[in-house]
Structure 1
């Protein structure tokens, strides 16, 4: 288990470093330009490569040594992070920041499919579910610790210094990847042509109805549910009149629920009845969102937001565990790269739900989110009942 412990520790510190970088970058761009448009451009530069490069990264993960691929990706990411800090130091034009962020996003987008594909090579098969849950718990913990540290550091250090400290977390992960050695031999794809790799992945999905169901179910909460982080300021302001303090408190409560959900899954010895837990967690997620927007006081809203974090993270973790167990190792990179593209639907959902809030009001937007999760999940379950038996 030493290789997984090295991986887990390095991944946690790298995630904290990425939060330092993201908070410092967003804050500095807004402070320097005073323009929400420029802030949107920077974040678009981070998100656009998700749909373009996720599958190619999965193909690489199946063809080549995953550990060596991650070392190469981390090397490029560290160098580009240092460059972004240097650009702040010399007060470069905004377009140079955008180019550097976009270049770095290319490598950051390729990282998750390869990283998720490598976890089964680091642990015995019976420990896979717990390993995925532990890794998710570490990432959720970084969501709480990273921004908090970034806020303190930005009050005392320059932007480039905070970004460079974030690169330090990536460097520690690079060292961990260099030292660790997988315990399970990777089974590599033997296809000679790119089209053969794509055809093999497509044929597998076409013939595996359970995998189809998991991919379909993954889209539902991403479109209807997970945009809640983008919509939360609207709900807090228009429905609850809580102000920025209430917004921060509710976001923190959600993060605590997410951490506890992934920790609970990491302590389960068995992942039996995974399909039932997957469906129930999505339904619980939708119901919690619905009750949240209907809450009449802060404490009820906080309790519902805790459940939103708990059930939402339980779903996402179980979705990853269940998918990993359905896929052979030589296809793992390609299938996981497709599955991980689900995060690209969150901005799409935010646009749709934001439009509803702008025309019909925040309450109806929130009702659409919760009810959409519930109804569409039940529709998927009704048409693909085998997912309940996984």
Structure 2
């Protein structure tokens, strides 16, 4: 498998689990109890660990002096690769503004569709379906569109989809959530694929360990957006999330078009 296919298939598996797992947990809680659901979840983690034990990886031991230079290697990479640095900064910001939607979506659906709990469950299923489709077709799309262009375009479309969630029409809501799953998965997967391709194999783990820290911005964004929802209202907060995501994606996308790295193939 190519790196693009591998990353896409990994995301595909995650989205399949996102759509099946909550449903299975719901049946277990309905038939037994929440404690049973958590116990079975812990058992699944244990089984996963057991499956990982036979795996073997070649480990190249680094001298102590070289290990201490790891941070410098990451800093130097971003200094030399302006495109990668802008993608990383964009990802940090968008994770805080846009990707915190999962935390606030129950509040939004309760506001727009009061006493209709099934709306949220159906919406999350639509989101997972969008993510699954995204990972299936992304490798073919990246053969025709550059990774950088794809990342910024999908990020902007993700922001536009966030604006559609404020609709009081169930069909439009589900359609918007579907596109949120599709475009957010495109953006996130393209981000990972870009760094997998653009970083030398000996430094790839060091750089990716920093790049994947962007997920840590989601809890921070959720906290900030929750304060915003209390002060402004949940609908106004989703509008702000969508607009800010669009602005960030377009702004950094334009910067990438105007300033091309010398010797970097985008």
Counterpart position of 1:335: 207
Distance 1:200 1:256, change over 3 A: same
Out of 366, 374, 378, the residue aligned to residue 238 of structure 2 is: 366
Farther off after superposition, 158-167 or 194-203: 158-167
Q: Is the 8 A contact 1:186 1:329 kept in 2?
A: no
CA distance in 1, matches of 2:142, 2:155: 22
The structure whose RCO (Cα within 8 Å, separation 6+) is larger is 2
Quick check: 164-173 or 219-228, which moved more? 164-173
For normalisation by structure 2, the TM-score amounts to 0.87
- The answer on whether the counterparts of 1:289 and 1:369 sit within 8 Å (CA) in structure 2 is yes
Corresponding position of 2:125: 252
Partner residue in 2 for 1:285:
158
Other structure's SS at 2:230 match: helix
SS, match of residue 153 in structure 1? helix
User: Which residue, 131, 134, 142 being the options, matches 2:17?
Assistant: 142
1:72-111 to structure 2, matched below 5 A, reads none
Alignment of 1:252-271 (within 5 A): 252-266=125-139, 270=143
Deviation, structure 1 residue 301: 1.0
TM-score (norm: length of structure 1): 0.61
Which residue of 2 is the match for residue 112 of structure 1? none
Structure 2 unaligned residues grouped into runs of 5+: none
Aligned positions of 1:49-128 closer than 5 A: 123=1, 127-128=2-3
Residue 345 of structure 1 corresponds to: 217
| Residue 85 (structure 2) pairs with residue 212 (structure 1) | yes
- Offset at residue 206 of structure 1 (A): 1.7
1:117-266 equivalent positions in 2, closer than 5 A:
123=1, 127-157=2-32, 161-180=36-55, 189-190=62-63, 192=65, 194-241=67-114, 243-266=116-139
Q: Distance in 2 between matches of 1:202 and 1:161?
A: 46
Q: Is the 8 A contact 1:141 1:259 kept in 2?
A: yes
Q: What is the CA distance between 1:186 and its match in structure 2?
A: 6.6
CA distance in 2, matches of 1:258, 1:290: 18
- Asked if 1:316 corresponds to 2:188, the answer is yes
Offset, 1:349: 1.2
**CA distance 1:359–1:311, change in 2 (3 Å):** same
The structure with the greater share of residues assigned to helix is 1
1:295-306 matches, within 5 Å, as 295-306=167-178
Label 1:193 to 1:186 Cα distance change in 2 as closer, same or farther (>3 A): closer
The aligned length equals 262
Structure 2 counterpart of 1:379 = 251
- Distance, in Å, in 2 between the alignment partners of 1:242 and 1:164 is 30
Q: How far apart in 2 are the matches of 1:321 and 1:356?
A: 33
Judged with a 3 Å threshold, the aligned counterparts in structure 2 of structure 1 residues 188 and 371 are, in CA distance, closer, same or farther, namely: farther
Q: Deviations for 1:309-350, whole angstroms, at most 9, x for unmatched residues?
A: 111111111111111111112212221111111111111111
SS in 2 for 1:296: coil
Distance 1:211 1:187 in 2: 26
Whole-angstrom CA distance in 2 between matches of 1:320 and 1:269: 13
